[in-house]
Amino acid sequence: MATNFIFQNTTKIYFGDNQLESLPQEVKKHGTNILITYGGGSIKKSGLLDKVKSLLENAGISVFEFGGIEPNPRHTSVNAGAKICKENKIDAVLAIGGGSVIDCTKAIAAATFYEGDAWDLVIHKAQITKALPIFTILTLSATGSEMDCGAVISNLDTNDKLGLVDPHLQPTASFLNPEITYTVSKFQTAAGSADIIAHVLDCYYFSRGHKLEMVDQVMEVVLKTVVKYAPVAIKDPTNYEARANLMWAASWALNDFLTVGIPQAPTCHCIEHELSAYYDITHGLGLAILMPCWLEYVLDDSTAADIKKFGVNVFGVDPKFSDMEGAKEALNRFRNFLYNELGLDSSLTALKIDKTNFEIMAKKACFGEVLHGYRDLTPKDVENIFEMCL
Ligand code: NZQ
Ligand code: ZN
């Protein structure tokens, strides 16, 4: 039986084209001064920024801008964005981008009501007491940040990349137009797809808690959706059906719906955040390299049936295999999907990452002692997994 749980997701989703027309009325419920945030310029190139600005300005909303947010967003950007909000009496924030822009913007929304360094909020030295209303226009299907209350922020001074989860960070409304993702590169489409898979596998599918059968099957449907449509979107970037399926899969892979009392223990995410923190790599790529090695590392008689089930239900592995053979075949198919079909790199060596920092990274991933999860891992285990990824 599943343990007790509370489910509440308050983000209003506008899905599809022509939905942006409703943005001004949503914003005006909260005020008339808005800060638009964005990343390295993809939305300038596509014309989306100008379109959104004129839509808001024509409705009498004053627009302020904060661009240049980095992939793996830095706490220094959070501080800079919060300063603009404080100085201009901003009423709401609008993130236009992928997970990095949305996460940074969520932290900006909270840091606006804090006088110290925003990093204090990330490390829980100070508590979030309030946040500005958060709106998002999603441009990349991956993280689920558009519909969850998490944000992941990096501190380059300390080589830390940490997640911040707080109900105040739940977006008020998010606009999801699959057409906006037509310009996402093949690489980012592949990495984003690996991230969606990781959210389901890493956070819920391989977990120790009891699950509801219905939710277990939804997880497999989300996984199969990505397996089917990611290669289509990579070959044919303007395929609406593929982009729409990836976008909705991303939002539902990590929005609390799959939680249902499962103790969240995202092993690969904790390990990957160390890779991003030390080497500033793309989150989804790090996960794609880690996931098969992690499963291979924990594969034994006690895990074989679960891994085989993933292979049978998601990749069509023959159920007649023994548990161990089926699990091995599942890993072969998973690797083939990630590295051949999605075209992602399969090793850390390909990213020019060597053993140098593995020991310290492994310790940090385990928060010093044990990384609890599907199988508990010690720092030595994590170091071994890193080495398998070379
Ligand atoms: O910065 P711009 O110029 O916009 O370019 C971005 C960036 O270079 C580009 N891009 C985004 N939309 C585009 C586009 N290029 C062309 N056309 C478009 N429509 O893609 C690049 C990567 O963007 P980024 O936002 O970094 O990617 P993603 O959405 O994968 O976000 C990754 C971040 O989210 C965190 C990750 O750790 C990482 O920092 N995560 C957030 C989570 C959450 N809030 O719940 C959970 C995740 O597990 C994850 O940890
Ligand atoms: Zn992720």
Residue 2 reports pLDDT greater than 80? no
Burial class, 257, CB count within 10 angstroms (exposed 0-12 / middle 13-18 / buried 19+) = middle
> Can you give the pLDDT at residue 337?
98
> Can you give the pLDDT at residue 154?
97
Q: Rounded to two decimals, what is the model's pTM?
A: 0.97
- What does pLDDT average to over the chain? 96
CA distance 373 to 359: 20
Q: How far is the CA of 308 from the centre of ligand 2 (A)?
A: 23
Backbone region of residue 203 per phi and psi (left: phi > 0; alpha: psi in -120 to 50; beta: other values): alpha
CA 200, 201, 205, 206 torsion: positive or negative?
negative
Tell me the average pLDDT across 63-88.
Answer: 98
> Can you give the pLDDT at residue 231?
98
CA distance 113 to 109: 8
Tell me the average pLDDT across 245-263.
Answer: 91
> Can you give the pLDDT at residue 55?
98
One-letter amino acid at 48 equals L
Tell me the average pLDDT across 299-317.
Answer: 97
Tell me the average pLDDT across 112-138.
Answer: 98
Pinpoint the alpha helices (H) of 212-282: 213-235, 240-253, 267-279
Residues whose beta carbon lies within 6 Å of some atom of ligand 1: 39-43, 71-72, 97-101, 103, 139-140, 142-145, 148, 150-152, 180-181, 183-184, 188, 192, 195, 254, 269, 283-284
* Top-confidence residue, 3 or 156: 156
What residue's CA is closest to ligand 1, atom 15? 184
With H, G, I as helix, E, B as strand and everything else as coil, classify residue 5.
coil
Q: Which of 122, 113, 108, 119 is nearest to 67 (CA)?
A: 108
Q: Which of 37, 48, 141, 143 to mutate to test the pocket of ligand 1 (most atoms within 8 A of CB)?
A: 143
SS3 string, 59-72, reads: CCCEEEEECCCCCC
> Can you give the pLDDT at residue 334?
98
What residue's CA is closest to ligand 1, atom 34? 99
Give per-residue pLDDT as tens, 79-106.
Answer: 999 999 999 999 999 999 999 999 999 9
333 strand-pairing partners: none
Per-residue b or e along 160-194, where b marks 16 or more CB atoms closer than 10 Å to that residue's CB: bbbebebebbbbbbbbbbbebbebbeebbbbbbbb
Tell me the average pLDDT across 1-17.
Answer: 87
Residue 151 reports pLDDT greater than 60? yes
With H, G, I as helix, E, B as strand and everything else as coil, classify residue 74.
strand
Residue 209 reports pLDDT greater than 90? no
User: Which phi and psi (to 5°) does residue 165 adopt?
Assistant: -120, 125
User: Which residues, 6 or more positions from 229, have their beta carbon under 8 angstroms from its beta carbon?
Assistant: 241, 242, 245, 246, 249
CA distance 316 to 313: 6
Q: How far is the CA of 300 from the centre of ligand 1 (A)?
A: 35
Q: Which of 139, 147, 270 to mutate to test the pocket of ligand 1 (most atoms within 8 A of CB)?
A: 139
Q: How far is the CA of 151 from the centre of ligand 2 (A)?
A: 11
Give per-residue pLDDT as tens, 338-385.
Answer: 999 999 999 999 999 999 999 999 999 998 899 999 999 999 999 999
| Cα 249 to the center of its chain, rounded Å | 12
DSSP annotation of 57: H
Residue 261 reports pLDDT greater than 80? no
Q: Which of 132, 126, 82 is nearest to 108 (CA)?
A: 82
User: Which residues, 6 or more positions from 130, have their beta carbon under 8 angstroms from its beta carbon?
Assistant: 110, 113, 168
CA 189, 195, 198, 200 torsion: positive or negative?
negative
Residue 1 reports pLDDT greater than 60? no
Q: Which atom of ligand 1 is nearest to the CA of 140?
A: 12
Which domains are seen in the chain, by residue range? 18-176 (3.40.50.1970), 186-388 (1.20.1090.10)
Q: How far is the CA of 33 from the centre of ligand 2 (A)?
A: 32
CA distance 71 to 93: 19
Residue 222 reports pLDDT greater than 90? yes
Question: 6: pLDDT confidence band, cut at 50, 70 and 90?
Answer: confident
Tell me the average pLDDT across 182-188.
Answer: 98
> Can you give the pLDDT at residue 49?
98
Burial class, 323, CB count within 10 angstroms (exposed 0-12 / middle 13-18 / buried 19+) = middle
